[in-house]
Amino acid sequence: MKTQSIMMAVAGAVLAAMPVQAGHFLGTYTSSSQPFLAHLNFTTSDTVNGVSAYDVLSISGDVDGDAITGLIMNPAQPNQGTSPDGLFYFDNDYYSTTPVFDGDGILFSTASGTEYNFWGNTPTSYTLYSANANGYSFNSNGTFDVSVAVPEPASWALMVAGFGVAGFALRNRRRRTAFV
């Protein structure tokens, strides 16, 4: 019984300590080259794709008050694709190493019909490009400050299960000790 309690405690500790993969990222893009502000909320997969990155599954927020309507899906995923208008290359990938959001870009659209491509130049330097019905319009260089990184629900469940197993093992161990 003592061995079983120890094994359960170790299993619980391992489950609770497992690293959290990708998840939800809330951040603010601030331009240094012109007045340009974007609030971006990315949801990414928690599994690695064929190019050792995490697929960006959705995006929300706004660009200068223009609401983001959604991610433009990449039919070539996980490889680089070309935007429907042919103006941008993109792959909608997030890397847990440098750069955080890939240099091939995250492609999305807004309520006004503007298409944006968010490029990661380095972990601290980004470029936001825009295009509309008239073609490529402008770009701005800036930073993306992640304010919150929230794990996926499956990661939370795994952590909670790990703590539960560890707690159950410790509770049973105390109970048996009290009656001996």
**88-97 pLDDT, tens digit each:** 999 999 887 7
Based on its alpha-carbon atoms, the radius of gyration of the chain, rounded to whole angstroms, reads: 22
Q: Please tell me the distance from the alpha carbon of residue 16 to that of residue 109, in angstroms, as a whole number.
A: 38
Stated pTM of the model: 0.69
Least confident stretch, 7-11, 41-45, 138-142, 167-171: 7-11
Residue 31 scores a pLDDT above 80: yes
Quick one: what percent of the chain has pLDDT higher than 70? 68
pLDDT at 169 (0 to 100): 65
Least confident stretch, 22-36, 56-70, 111-125, 138-152: 138-152
pLDDT at 166 (0 to 100): 61
pLDDT at 12 (0 to 100): 46
Cis peptide before 35 (omega within 30 of 0): no
Mean pLDDT of 172-180: 57
The amino acid that residue 150 corresponds to is V
Mean pLDDT of 147-159: 58
Residue 17 scores a pLDDT above 50: no
Least confident stretch, 24-38, 59-73, 101-115, 119-133: 24-38
Q: Please tell me the distance from the alpha carbon of residue 41 to that of residue 4, in angstroms, as a whole number.
A: 44
Least confident stretch, 39-43, 80-84, 156-160: 156-160
Q: Please tell me the distance from the alpha carbon of residue 88 to that of residue 77, in angstroms, as a whole number.
A: 15
Q: Please tell me the distance from the alpha carbon of residue 31 to that of residue 102, in angstroms, as a whole number.
A: 18
Mean pLDDT of 73-91: 90
Instruction: Give the helix/strand (H/E) hosting 176.
Output: helix 153-179
